[in-house]
């Protein structure tokens, strides 16, 4: 009987560890939850299925896919507090392509986490 209890505890511990690592791997959005939710909703409405979103202050970068292509979307929060699409591209954005869009240098590293 002790063997069965010990085995059950071991299986439970392994299950919890697996669940923890799976949760970490699935948690791909970064930034305040309300902002991430708004960004994902906007991208879903305009482009298809959002995958990953990173939000830093008034800027966001979200990856998405449709049945035909993958894309990256850069969004900016306007003075009215609404998110608007600044640019979208089938490729990945980098520091050199985000800066000309007006993204502050301090926000770039946080946004690029959408690709990690």
CA atoms of 8 and 89, how far apart (whole Å): 50
* Interacting residues of 43 by C-beta distance below 8 A, sequence separation 6+: 50, 53, 62, 64, 73, 75
This prediction's pTM: 0.69
- Decide: helix, strand or coil at residue 101: helix
pLDDT at 40 over 90: yes
Token look-up 């998405």 returns 64
* Interacting residues of 66 by C-beta distance below 8 A, sequence separation 6+: 47, 48, 49
For residue 4, give both structure tokens. 């069965």
More confident residue, 10 or 93: 93
Task: State the number of CA atoms in the 13 A half-sphere of 33 facing the CB.
Answer: 1
Q: What is the pLDDT of residues 71-88, one digit of tens each?
A: 899 999 988 789 999 988
User: pLDDT value at position 83?
Assistant: 92
Which ranges of the chain does DSSP label H, i.e. alpha helix? Answer: 2-26, 33-46, 95-98, 108-111
Residue 69: band (very low, low, confident or very high) from pLDDT cuts 50, 70, 90: confident
For residue 9, give both structure tokens. 């505890």
CA atoms of 41 and 92, how far apart (whole Å): 20
């Amino acid at each position: 009987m002790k063997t069965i209890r010990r085995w059950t505890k071991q299986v439970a511990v392994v299950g919890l560890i697996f669940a923890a690592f799976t949760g970490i791997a699935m948690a791909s959005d970064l930034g305040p939850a309300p902002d991430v939710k708004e960004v994902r909703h906007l991208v879903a409405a305009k482009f298809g299925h959002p995958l990953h979103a990173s939000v830093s202050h008034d800027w966001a970068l979200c990856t998405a896919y449709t049945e035909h292509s993958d894309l990256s979307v850069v969004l900016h929060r306007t003075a009215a507090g609404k998110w608007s699409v600044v640019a979208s591209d089938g490729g990945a954005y980098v520091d050199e392509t985000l800066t000309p869009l007006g993204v502050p240098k301090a926000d770039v590293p946080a946004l690029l986490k959408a690709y990690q």
